[in-house]
């Protein structure tokens, strides 16, 4: 089995999920040989903790290393595009965190570069790698759901603006739509068969800000703690697909709700499925209304180890990507249209 030598660009919070995934593949010839972060102390600490021999503060220097095959791009969003392009131009395969970029144009540029170089560019759509995907697929294949008309998806937080770069439009590209909505829009569209979007109608609201003064509550702190909060607090959207199917989205960092919530539900003409955290099917059976709850042990259903293992399979040419750059581009198009529609105050059509 060919050895794969990996580098990590960005040693913040989510890079730990990536390195854990790579470490699980040690016996299968995968080694993390380098890491990079402009915060040198952070990079050195990460390297020490994870026994990584080479530490850099500039990814361009890291990419000059001999024998480096692939990288994870786990930086804040505004660095996804330049770091990915640099890696691809240096001949490295890339697993880039979500959202793929700040704009459709950037995402298309990254996909084109990967295509030109003949290299893998996977997107960190981690929910595609959770075990419950299989449960959905099994029920779907058995015809228990029929045609799915509607996905209702929600990823809302009451007091959950991550303090730091996530609330700067320049660094994050957007607020909860880009950070949280991206996951639930992607997984619902993916399970519905990667439908072609035709229009988006949305509204977005601002005004509460980061609420850093809330007492007696711990908050997640990302790096680069800027006092910038120019993203939305809350957005709602209605995404229409070519075949008539729709996704309805609600996502927030700060919203006056009782508690944080992730919910993903699909409604078809034969059955519905409350998908998250563990799927339960609602249907008619033997002229009864019936619920089917598979008894499974999927724990917290962490998709990261499978996402990383799949990336390595793609790098080795042993699998076709199930989270390819094209899907990253498509999702950017949808999320971009959410902001466009919210700003225009009317539905926008999607081209192409």
Among 22, 25, 32, 76, binds ligand NAD (CB under 6 A): 76
Q: Does 39 bind ligand NAD (CB under 6 A)?
A: yes
Whether 44 and 69 have beta carbons less than 8 Å apart is answered as no
Q: How far is the CB of 262 from ligand NAD (least distance, A)?
A: 11
What residue number has its CB nearest to ligand NAD? 12
* Strands lying side by side in the sheet with 348-349: 288-292, 280-285, 271-274, 261-268, 148-156, 246-252, 234-241, 197-205, 348-349
Residue 74 touching ligand NAD (CB under 6 A):
yes
Residue 302 vs 313, nearer CB to ligand NAD:
302
Cβ 348 vs Cβ 203: under 8 Å? no
Cβ closer to ligand NAD: 84 or 201? Answer: 84
32 and 38 in contact (C-beta within 8 Å)? no
Question: Tokens in use for 116?
Answer: 């030109």
Structural contact between residues 71 and 87, judged by C-beta atoms closer than 8 angstroms: yes
Q: Which of 92, 98, 111, 132 binds ligand NAD (CB under 6 A)?
A: 98
Interacting span for ligand NAD (CB under 6 A) from 75-83, 85-93, 261-269, 278-286 = 75-83
The CA distance from 251 to 124, in Å, is 19
Shortest gap between Cβ of 131 and ligand NAD (angstroms)? 16
Choose between 22 and 241: whose C-beta lies nearer to ligand NAD: 22
> Cis omega (within 30 of 0) on the bond before 28?
no
Strands 246-252 and 148-156: parallel
Residue with smaller CB distance to ligand NAD, 37 or 108: 37
Residues 6+ apart with CB under 8 A from 221: 162, 163, 164
Q: Is 223 in the site for ligand NAD (CB under 6 A)?
A: yes
Burial 139-173 (b: 16+ CB within 10 A, else e): bbeeebbeebbebbbbbbbbbbbbbbbbbbbebbb
- Residue 90 is a binding residue for ligand NAD (CB under 6 A): no
The CB-of-264 to ligand NAD minimum distance in angstroms stands at 14
- Asked if residues 126 and 311 have their Cβ atoms less than 8 Å apart, the reply is no
With CB under 6 A as the contact rule, which of the stretches 37-45, 63-71, 138-146, 248-256 interacts with ligand NAD? 37-45
Instruction: Report the candidate in 77, 84, 144, 163 with the shortest Cα–Cα distance to residue 279.
Output: 144
Show the beta-strand stretches assigned E in the chain: 4-9, 30-36, 54-56, 70-73, 93-96, 121-123, 148-156, 197-205, 234-241, 246-252, 261-268, 271-274, 280-285, 288-292, 348-349
Residues in the chain, how many?
Answer: 352
Judged by beta carbon, residue 126 or residue 273, the one nearer ligand NAD is 126
Stretches 4-12, 106-114, 260-268, 291-299: which one binds ligand NAD (CB under 6 A)? 4-12
126 contributes a contact to ligand NAD by CB under 6 A: yes
Q: What x/- string results for residues 241 through 280 when contact with ligand NAD is judged by CB under 6 A? A: ----------------------------------------
DSSP of 278-312, one letter per residue? S-EEEEEETTEEEEE------TT---HHHHHHHHH
**Shortest distance (Å) from residue 102 CB to ligand NAD:** 10
124 binds ligand NAD (CB under 6 A): yes
Under the binding rule (CB under 6 A), the answer on residue 38 touching ligand NAD is yes
Binding mask 301-320 for ligand NAD (x = CB under 6 A): --------------------
Least separation in angstroms between residue 50's CB and ligand NAD is 14
**CB nearer ligand NAD, residue 123 or residue 348:** 123
Considering the complex, what minimum distance in angstroms separates the CB of residue 11 from ligand NAD? 5
Name the site residues for ligand NAD (rule: CB under 6 A).
9-14, 36-39, 42, 59, 74-77, 79, 97-98, 124, 126, 164-165, 179, 222-223
């Amino acid at each position: 089995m060919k050895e794969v030598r990996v580098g990590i660009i960005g040693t913040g919070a989510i890079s730990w999920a990536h390195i854990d995934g790579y470490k699980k593949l040690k016996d299968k010839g995968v080694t993390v040989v380098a890491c990079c972060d402009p915060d040198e102390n952070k990079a050195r600490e990460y390297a020490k903790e994870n026994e990584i021999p080479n530490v850099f503060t500039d990814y361009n220097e890291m990419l000059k290393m001999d024998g480096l095959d692939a990288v994870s791009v786990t930086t804040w969003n505004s660095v996804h595009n330049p770091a990915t392009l640099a890696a691809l131009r240096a001949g490295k395969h890339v697993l880039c965190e979500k959202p793929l970029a700040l704009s459709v144009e950037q995402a298309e540029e990254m996909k084109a570069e990967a295509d030109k170089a003949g290299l893998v560019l996977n997107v960190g759509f981690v929910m595609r790698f959770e075990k419950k995907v299989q449960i959905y697929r099994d029920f779907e294949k058995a015809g228990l759901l029929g045609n799915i008309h509607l996905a209702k998806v929600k990823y809302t937080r009451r007091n959950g603006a991550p303090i730091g770069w996530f609330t700067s439009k320049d660094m994050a590209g957007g607020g909860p739509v880009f950070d949280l909505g991206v996951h639930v829009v992607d997984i619902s569209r993916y399970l519905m068969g990667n439908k072609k979007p035709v229009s988006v109608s949305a509204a977005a609201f601002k005004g509460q800000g980061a609420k850093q003064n809330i007492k007696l509550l711990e908050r997640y702190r990302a790096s680069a703690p800027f006092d910038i909060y120019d993203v939305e607090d809350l957005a709602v959207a209605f995404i229409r697909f070519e075949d008539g199917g729709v996704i309805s989205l609600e996502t927030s960092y700060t919203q006056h709700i009782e508690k944080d919530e992730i919910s993903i539900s699909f409604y078809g003409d034969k059955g519905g499925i409350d998908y998250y955290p563990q799927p339960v099917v609602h249907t008619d059976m033997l002229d009864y209304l019936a619920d089917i709850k598979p008894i499974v042990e999927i724990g917290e259903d962490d998709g990261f180890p499978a996402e990383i293992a799949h990336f390595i399979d793609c790098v080795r040419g042993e699998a076709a990507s199930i989270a390819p750059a094209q899907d990253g581009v498509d999702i950017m198009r949808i999320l971009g249209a959410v902001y466009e529609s919210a700003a225009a105050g009317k539905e926008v059509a999607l081209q192409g």
